Amino acid sequence: MSLQIDNVVESTKSRSGIIDCDVHPYPKNTDEIRSYMKQPWRDRYSGGGRGFFGNPVHGSRLDANPPHGGPAGSDPAFLQEQLLDKYGIAHAILLPRAFCNLHPDPDFGTAIAAAFNDWLADTWLGAYNAHGVFKGSITIAHQDPLAAAREIERWAGHTHFVQVMTDSGARAPFGQRHYLPIYEVCAKYGLPFAIHPGTDGMGINIQPSPGYPTHYIEWHTCLSLGFQAHLVSFITEGVFERFPDFQVVLVEGGVSWLPALMWRLDQEYKALRYEVPWLKRRPSDYLRDHVRISSQPLERPDNDQYLLQMLEMMDAEHILMFASDYPHWDFDSPTRAFPRLPESLRKRIFHDNAAELYHL
């Protein structure tokens, strides 16, 4: 499908070098995705979402709706004005929201993922990307790991696809062996594997908390639970030993839980290492080589000194990457998300860690 787009302005404004690792582009309407699907999937597809755990007030910034219509995040020129030019974004890592991982029919989920990839390549990574700022994520449906691996192979050589992405919602922790075909292909092509919340407890996926929360505030606060389970699984199942070049990105799952979780896992490992003899190092020692975490939502205590201490505890200098989560309601501005940081640390978080990971 060819597109003619004439409303994207290539800015000449000098950019500050910020790499935003969580920006959400949206289609203008459902038909835009449906046009990339073959039958019978085209007639079956009606969009996606989180079902009953939706924000009861508003899901996006109130000022993010494009002036010429369409949902927030669907107009590249308006996104450039509100995000790229306002904050001097050097690159925006795009994570579409396909919600394809909740479907019990793995072929349907795979078809949705493929359509989103075709759409993203033609639009945000193609016709909208004259400035080269946009870098994309290959959406996969992890219900069928072999089909997911083939979808990664299909896009691995594309200039602007820089990672693979999936939802944190799943039927099993991500370290388990039936997912290995996905990680093998990621490692083969040097593509990080990004996990984003969105389908926990939806469709065929298991809710990571004990049962279902009553309110959105509970669900949203506890998004980190699934991320913690997946990270422990990756480490203890030996995925990083099996694939020494494989890297994981934890997006939009919070930050402050990481040090305490690793302390606990390291403590457990001292007594139980016989159970996981394939581990060659302490669990926390795998983080710098294999794990990156994005900053949004950044837990901000009343005392900024506590946050600075937490950043030191988690080795933020090497594993933390800035993310805004544009255009969502809990958007983190690059100018307000953090307290004043030492310049060397700020540069690592806002640029260097992502530049190294994505080869930018």
Q: Return the CATH number at 110.
A: 3.20.20.140
- Residue pair 171/141 in contact (Cβ under 8 Å)? The answer is no
Range of the domain at 117: 18-358
Q: Is the pLDDT of residue 10 over 50?
A: no
Number of domains forming the structure of the chain = 1
Q: How many CB atoms are located within 10 Å of the residue 299 CB?
A: 12
Predicted pLDDT at 11: 45
Q: Is the pLDDT of residue 62 over 60?
A: yes
Using one digit for the tens of pLDDT, what is the confidence trace for 301-348? 999 999 999 999 999 999 999 999 999 988 999 999 999 999 999 999
Q: Is the pLDDT of residue 12 over 90?
A: no
Predicted pLDDT at 214: 93
Q: Is residue 252 part of a domain?
A: yes
Q: Is residue 1 part of a domain?
A: no
Q: Is residue 176 part of a domain?
A: yes
d(CA 145, CA 141): 8
| pLDDT band for position 99 (cuts 50, 70, 90) | very high
167-188: b or e for each residue (b if 16 or more CB lie within 10 Å)? bbbbeebbbeeebbbbbebbbe
Using one digit for the tens of pLDDT, what is the confidence trace for 205-262? 999 999 999 999 999 999 999 999 999 999 999 999 999 999 999 999 999 999 999 9
Q: Is residue 4 part of a domain?
A: no
d(CA 253, CA 336): 19
Query: What is the mean predicted confidence (pLDDT) over 70-81?
Result: 96
Q: Is residue 5 part of a domain?
A: no
Using one digit for the tens of pLDDT, what is the confidence trace for 121-147? 999 999 999 999 999 999 999 999 999
**Angle (nearest 5°) at CA 159 between 154 and 161:** 60
Using one digit for the tens of pLDDT, what is the confidence trace for 265-301? 999 999 999 999 999 999 999 999 999 999 999 999 9
Q: Is residue 45 part of a domain?
A: yes
Predicted pLDDT at 15: 54
> What percent of the chain is modeled with pLDDT above 70?
95
Q: According to DSSP H, which parts of 177-242 are helical?
A: 180-189, 216-221, 224-236, 239-242
Q: Is the pLDDT of residue 1 over 50?
A: no
Q: Is residue 150 part of a domain?
A: yes
Both tokens assigned to 257? 């839980």
Using one digit for the tens of pLDDT, what is the confidence trace for 193-213? 999 998 999 999 999 999 999
Using one digit for the tens of pLDDT, what is the confidence trace for 173-192? 999 999 999 999 999 999 99
- Residue carrying the six token digits 């349907």: 108
Q: Is residue 160 part of a domain?
A: yes
